[in-house]
Structure 1
Amino acid sequence: MTSRLVEHLGPSNISGASAVEIADRIRALILDGRLTVGERLPSERALAIELRRSRSTTTRVYDILNQDGYVSRVHGGGTRVALPHSGTTTVDGDDESMIDLSIASMDSTPGLYDATVRSLPRLAALRGTSGYSLQGLPELRDAVAQRFSARGVPTTPEQIIITSGALNALNLVLATVGRRGERALVEQPTFPHARESLHRHGYRMLPTPVDVDGWDERHVTDTLLHGRPHVAYLIPDFHNPTAATLPDSARARIATTARNVGTHVIVDETTAELDIDRGWAPRPFSAFSPEVITLGSMSKIAWGGLRLGWIRAERGLVGRLLATRPSFELGTALLEQCIAIELLQDMPALTAHVATRLRDGRAAVAAGLARLDGVEMPSTPGGLSTWLDLGEPISTALSLAARDRGLVLPPGPRFATGGVLERRVRIPITLSPERTTQAMERLSMAWSDVHAGDEPRTLALPHAAVI
């Protein structure tokens, strides 16, 4: 059985790599959270067998990591992931704060404060309750249902569950319908924490490719027909990280195929409202099959600190979800729900603000990338980020060099399985233009370091979350 370490490394991607290069890749896995502190790694002998390398090579790999403080080795206790002492870490440059590009999220909308104030009378009327609600406030469920109906999917409040964010919604769905040992179809690349949730619930991944030009529809349907996965997790609107949108015709065929083979389709619409200038609006995936389970969130269009999302599903499944939910939480806080009711009443202004912020962020990224020869920025009509083609497989090396320049930059393989996508890197378009300009300056320095042959010094502690 392949170890987690080798799954992440991707044996074919390090064929012929030196011990130093393998150690650098493992260090990158630790720094972006794919390997967790305290996690036990394979023995030198087991790693040598998995990688088909000599025992001396794997011993050298662990020696390098141990010397730098990224693993701890105890006689008889194996090798475990560690981190250097934080007191020894520094960042070059005048600005000692890291710029974190692992988080693709904007600051709060200007309307958040006013919405919070307007929500207080509604909240005051609920002071005699427990402070949270298992399914969600009726008024909020009605508002969410109306948005689905307006987009072409007739929906009732009984089909809606209000959750503490979209990732919380995904975990509730998996806790209810999940089946350990089964297969899950996932896009490659995809949102890392969703893939980790599927893995935690015992699923084996069946990746299907997505690029800036979209999905390989035939690959998706063939994988559904022949792999017969138990669940499929898809981000069809401004896909994270590629920003691609799945056409209506493909949604219909994929939904029909999934229904015929009995696959639960889980559609993440967290990024669906992040339109800049796409020029057309697809129908919701759930319009093509009543069995589709849809996840949504306020975090990307209002504020990441507003931990509020929802699930749209058939009534029968809603009942099962509500029966499962108390096993790990008692409901969603009422304060966030009261604020969300106010925000949903002014969605045109909210989405207009988001479009302006994303447009400015996109322009700032494009301007900064102009100095990076060979990097291709695709058309990015919306979404959280742009999915860059670096022109060569240097994503991990660039990520390590970026940390030395005060920039947290998850490499392309962070969004995939098997260590692939080394030519790609995700750059958020959600930061302010001023902060983006600073980030691009640091990225340019890291780019120069990589192409000058400098070995990057990894001095920063990890930021495991990628949003």
Structure 2
Amino acid sequence: MPERHLSAQQLGRLLDADRSARPFYRALAQAVRGLVRDGRVPVRMRMPAERHLAEELGVSRTTVTAAYDLLREQGYLDSRQGAGSWTALPDPSLSADNPWLSVDDDGLLQMQCAAPPATAMLTEAVNEATGDLPRYGMGSGYDPMGLPELRERIAAHYTARGLATRPEQILVTTGSQHALQLVMGLIVSPGDPVIVESPTYPHAIDAARNRTARIVPVGVTAEGWQVDLLASAMRQSAARLAYLMPDFHNPTGALMDDADRAAVVGHARRLDTTLLIDETWSELAIDEVPRAAPMAAFDTDSRVITIGSASKLWWGGLRIGWIRTTAAMARALAVHRAAVDIASPVLDQLVVARLFDRIEETRAERRRTMSASRSALVTALRERLPEWSFTVPRGGGTLWVRLAGEGATPLAESAACHGVRLAPGPWFGVSGTLEGYLRLPFTQPPQVITEAIARLAMARDRGPVGSRPADPLIRMV
């Protein structure tokens, strides 16, 4: 059968990319994606050569090359050296146009990342930790369980929250994602059912997929969880593990109350499901709300495994997390981690140990700064995009916004042309769901948030036409 192909003239007649869009290569790639998605250009159709399409459109070959590169990254083009490029559809379980792979200096306001800047106390803690470092210089620097003084502080913090904990129950990890991977790697076998919330933290889905687990999504909203539905999912799927984020849930901001925590743990006990509880956001209360008990406080048979992180309270650049579990499980996880790494960085652990001594001051600092940023985000949305709806969370760092008929993915593509990078709803779901939602963080300074929402409103109204923000604003991010 003869090969099907498009000439540059045929493709040029089909394209409706706005020539005034900046950068134009993104608008061009978006237009081609639209043709493939709606079937006007079939899959496995050979595309015109970059040089020929550039001549037809009256643009530089570099522009077309950049558009083709973007389409390849997103899974809409397959190419072979010397043979050409063909249209394709991306693997629904993967996405190369991932907002977490962007770089801070790409000229866009980074509204895809819910990571606050470093605490003001970081410099002093680093200086003190550097002074402590020589005491560790005679050893190997490898401690698979983590430095004793950091484990002691983490254990003491849990005990102060009403959950008696010994240092032997703590395993220090290289961030919370490392903790996720370790727990799933040890507990979950290929094909095991794993419950995740929908929406949820995207890397939890990644971790389950890496284990080729059977993912069982259970809905959660900004108003909270339906415990009966969660229990039904445990029972009907015979879930091996359930990953939950009950403290200022990412992305909805929901906070589970003590009664629901006790009920969930009770159901897990009866149905033999292990609970993996992510407390990454637990210290980030903004409003005055009663402090919920740790989920593990309701545990009577050691089925609750808790993970935490230094990234949100102190700084994402401190790649330190931890796992709280039984002493036996902590040792088993330390042995399991040897296939990935041996130990977490000593200096980072010393810094976090010093920061634990300042935890109340840091929480007060975060309440002050993130309250101002949350107010700026809420005000800007209500002024600029009043059709959108959301529930203001009492803590955490994200707003889960329901759009008014727009698609989150095309909106994110348009916003990039206006200088804003977004994380659309489908990044937080399974199999492309949640297209009607957008996660907006309030971890940036208020002036950045206000400008980002102004640009987002323009993207919604005008489509992929715009320019990148000026350098002075970027430096404030």
TM-score normalized with structure 1 length: 0.79
Rounded to whole Å, the distance in 1 between the matches of 2:181 and 2:245 is 16
Q: Distance in 2 between matches of 1:334 and 1:183?
A: 36
SS in 1 for 2:338: helix
Task: Show the counterpart of 1:167.
Answer: 177
Pair 1:257–1:447, CA change in 2 (3 A): same
Q: Displacement, 1:315?
A: 1.6
Q: What secondary structure sits across from 2:248 in the alignment?
A: coil
Q: Where in structure 1 are there 5+ consecutive unaligned residues? A: 1-18, 22-30, 32-47, 85-94, 460-467
Question: Which of 384, 387, 391 is the equivalent residue of 2:397?
Answer: 384
Contact (CA 8 Å) 1:104, 1:384: kept in 2 or not? Answer: yes
The aligned counterpart of 2:54 is none
Spell out the pairing of 1:168-247 with structure 2 (5 A cutoff). Answer: 168-247=178-257
Aligned pair in 2 of structure 1 residues 80, 216: CA closer, same or farther (>3 Å)? closer
C-alpha root-mean-square deviation of aligned residues, in Å? 3.0
Cα contact 2:384–2:453 (8 A) shared by 1: no
In the alignment, structure 1 residue 295 sits paired with structure 2 residue 307 = yes
Pair 1:72-2:78 in alignment:
yes
CA contact (8 A) 2:242 2:276 kept: yes
Taking the aligned partners of 2:15 and 2:267, their CA distance within structure 1 comes to 46
Aligned to 2:161: 151
The CA deviation at 1:121 is: 2.8
1:76 CA drift (Å): 11
- In the alignment, what sits opposite 1:344? 356
State yes or no: 1:372 paired with 2:378.
no
Letter in 2 for 1:367: T
Distance of 2:288 and 2:240 partners within structure 1: 32
Equivalent in the alignment of 1:119: 129
Question: Structure 2 CA distance, aligned partners of 1:432 and 1:455?
Answer: 25
Residue aligning to 2:471: none
Deviation at 1:168, TM superposition (A): 0.6
CA deviation digits over 1:139-171, x for unaligned, max 9? 111110111111111110000001111001111
1:279 correspondence with 2:289: yes
How has the CA–CA distance of structure 1 residues 398 and 296 changed in structure 2, closer, same or farther, with 3 Å as cutoff?
Answer: same
Deviation at 1:383, TM superposition (A): 0.5
**Using the alignment, how far apart are the partners of 1:61 and 1:320 within structure 2?**
52
Structure 2: gaps (5+ residues): 1-13, 17-25, 27-35, 51-63, 72-76, 98-104, 469-477
User: What is the identity, as a one-letter code, of the residue corresponding to 1:379?
Assistant: V
User: What SS does structure 2 have at the residue aligned with 1:117?
Assistant: helix
Contact 1:278 1:382 (C-alpha < 8 Å) held by counterparts = no
TM-score after normalising by structure 2:
0.78
How far apart, in 2, do the equivalents of 1:62 and 1:190 lie?
38
Q: Deviations over 1:249-306 (max 9, x none)?
A: 1111111211222212100000001100051111101111132000000110111101
> Larger RCO: Structure 1 or Structure 2 (Cα < 8 Å, ≥ 6 residues apart)?
1
Q: Is the 8 A contact 2:419 2:467 kept in 1?
A: no
Matches within 5 A, 1:8-47: none
Report whether the alignment pairs 1:434 with 2:418.
no
Partner of 2:329: 317
The equivalent position to 2:433 in structure 1, one of 420, 436, 440, is: 420
**Shift in Å, 1:63:** 5.5
Q: Indicate whether 1:260 and 2:270 are aligned.
A: yes
Q: Secondary structure at the match of 2:136?
A: coil
Change (3 A) 1:57 1:384: same
User: Compared with structure 1, are the counterparts of its residues 414 and 456 closer, same or farther at alpha carbon in structure 2 (3 Å cutoff)?
Assistant: farther
Structure-to-structure mapping, 1:323-334, within 5 angstroms = 323-334=335-346
Q: Percent identity?
A: 31
Deviations 1:76-106 (A, max 9, x none): 997587999xxxxxxxxxx982111111111
Query: What corresponds to 1:397 in structure 2?
Result: 410
State how far apart, in whole Å, the 2-side matches of 1:405 and 1:366 are: 20
SS in 2 for 1:181: coil
Q: Check the 8 A contact 1:401/1:458 in 2, yes or no.
A: no
Q: Which amino acid aligns with 1:175?
A: G
SS of aligned partner of 2:366: helix
Cα deviation, residue 413, structure 1: 1.0
Write the distance in 2 (CA, Å) between the matches of 1:278 and 1:61: 58
| 1:440 counterpart letter in structure 2 | I
Match of 2:472 in 1: none
Instruction: Answer yes or no: is the 8 Å Cα contact 1:235–1:267 preserved in 2.
Output: yes
Amino acid at match of 1:237: D
Q: Does the 8 Å contact 1:366/1:377 carry over to 2?
A: no
The ranges of structure 1 where at least 4 consecutive aligned residues each deviate by more than 3 angstroms after the TM superposition are 60-64, 73-84, 454-459
Corresponding residue number in structure 1 for 2:366: 354
How far does residue 404 in structure 1 lie from its aligned partner after superposition?
Answer: 0.9
Q: Whole-Å Cα distance in 2 between the matches of residues 355 and 260 of structure 1?
A: 38
2:43 corresponds, among 59, 62, 65, to: 59
Within 2, Cα distance between the matches of 1:177 and 1:83? 28
Q: Which residue of 2 aligns with 1:35?
A: none
d(CA) in 2 for partners of 1:62 and 1:257?
54
Task: In structure 1, give the amino acid aligned to 2:315.
Answer: W
Query: What's the CA shift for 1:239?
Result: 0.1
**1-structure distance, mates of 2:366, 2:456:** 25
Taking a change above 3 Å as real, the CA distance of residues 150 and 190 of structure 1, as seen in their structure-2 partners, is same
CA pair 340-80 structure 1, distance change in 2 beyond 3 A: same
What is the CA distance between 1:320 and its match in structure 2? 1.1
Deviation at 1:335, TM superposition (A): 0.2
> 1:131: how far off?
2.5
Separation in 1 of the partners of 2:112 and 2:236?
A: 35
Residue 419 of structure 2 is matched in structure 1 by: 406
Partner of 2:261: 251
Say whether the 8 Å CA contact 2:417–2:464 is kept in structure 1: no
* Aligned-partner residue type, residue 43 of structure 2: T
1:99 lines up with 2:109 in the alignment = yes
